[in-house]
Amino acid sequence: MRWQGFKGDGRPITNTTAQVVSFSEGLPSTGVVAFHFWTTGALNTFANITGGGNVNVLADSDLIYSVNPTHLRKWSGRFTQGNYLPATTVTAFSLWFNFVDIVDDDAADNCQFPRGAVPTIQFSTNATVVTGSMFCAWTISDQPASFFPRLFSQPMNIAANQVNAPFPIKSRGGLARGYVVDTVGLDKITMKLGGFQPVDMAGPGYLDAANGDVLRETEQIECDSTLTGVHAGRLPQVPIPGGTSEVVLTTHTGGAGGNWAGATNPLTLWTQDSQ
């Protein structure tokens, strides 16, 4: 069974100022499968509320989410049951902690925010926000949980016009579930998790030809919602051993498929860890 609640007091948003809007005090810490947020102020949209950097979620002092906002939207559109891809203009959005890709609620809720840990959620805004407030609500489940999720975006430090450039995957533990990567200017991606290679695929600029985005095409049997230039893929639920796990990219500028944005392009990794 699930039920909802919310905080009646909002967090203030300062006009035209880049700032961190943070929630912690008064939030539940057990059984949480989602936190929900909404804002007042016409320009306090998802794009502007998250426009200053990653969305961060801490359980006590353990950072369990630090996710690029664009990749967060794609993760939702790819893996949630409704394939819900929130528009950048929405003024209400959610952070989910259960197995969002499992249909049955009880089974999905076997993954939750770490029970008993104090939650802290931080949004870094841009300076386009206006005077207003941001509020927090939540959904709680009475199902016992064995797992909690981690969702991390890490800059890969891979520049444009690189051939087979490696990025060592730094996992904080747990089992792999999925990943998100930018595809504009991407020729090829290979991923290795220890001795297993779950991904070896051409990008939209493969052989410098206008091949379309075959990476996103691999999603379509499961996903109605797409985000141009970003791909999300499932991963087998295997450990991610350090030292033998990596992503290898070939990137370009000036050809078909657009220009790779550069070293700040992140890899987002979705994992499950034991409670």
Strand partners, 124: 20
If asked whether residues 9 and 33 sit together in one domain, one would say: yes
Would 151 be classed as within a structural domain? no
If asked whether residues 35 and 109 sit together in one domain, one would say: yes
If asked whether residues 6 and 134 sit together in one domain, one would say: yes
Alpha-carbon 223 to chain mean position: 16
Q: Which CATH number goes with the domain that contains 232?
A: 2.60.120
Kindly list the distances between the CA atom of residue 112 and the CA atoms of 6, 41, 44, 116, 118, in Å, as whole numbers in the listed order.
Answer: 18, 31, 28, 11, 13
**pLDDT attached to residue 207:** 73
**pLDDT attached to residue 212:** 74
If asked whether residues 21 and 99 sit together in one domain, one would say: yes
**pLDDT attached to residue 222:** 82
Would 150 be classed as within a structural domain? no
Residue range of the domain that includes 85? 2-145
Looking up tokens 């959005």 gives 93
If asked whether residues 14 and 137 sit together in one domain, one would say: yes
**End position of a domain, from candidates 98, 123, 145:** 145
Alpha-carbon 123 to chain mean position: 14
The domain tally of the chain equals: 2
Judging by DSSP bridges, how do beta strands 32-39 and 132-141 pair with one another? Answer: antiparallel
If asked whether residues 263 and 207 sit together in one domain, one would say: yes
If asked whether residues 141 and 85 sit together in one domain, one would say: yes
* Predicted TM-score (pTM) of this structure: 0.95
If asked whether residues 111 and 202 sit together in one domain, one would say: no
Would 141 be classed as within a structural domain? yes
If asked whether residues 236 and 259 sit together in one domain, one would say: yes
For residue 111, the 8-state DSSP code is B
Strand partners, 137: 6, 36
If asked whether residues 164 and 213 sit together in one domain, one would say: yes
Would 185 be classed as within a structural domain? yes
Contacts with 221 (C-beta within 8 Å, 6 or more apart), sequence order: none
pLDDT tens, the chain, 275 aa long: 999 999 889 999 999 999 999 999 999 999 999 999 999 999 999 999 999 999 999 999 999 999 999 999 999 999 999 899 999 999 999 999 999 999 999 999 999 999 999 999 999 999 999 999 999 999 999 999 999 999 999 999 999 999 999 999 987 778 999 999 999 999 999 999 988 999 999 988 887 666 678 888 888 888 777 788 899 999 999 999 878 899 999 999 877 678 999 999 999 999 999 99
**End position of a domain, from candidates 114, 145, 176:** 145
**pLDDT attached to residue 171:** 76
If asked whether residues 26 and 100 sit together in one domain, one would say: yes
Would 135 be classed as within a structural domain? yes
- For the beta carbon of residue 265, count every other beta carbon within 10 angstroms: 24
Q: Which CATH number goes with the domain that contains 86?
A: 2.60.120.730
**End position of a domain, from candidates 83, 118, 145:** 145
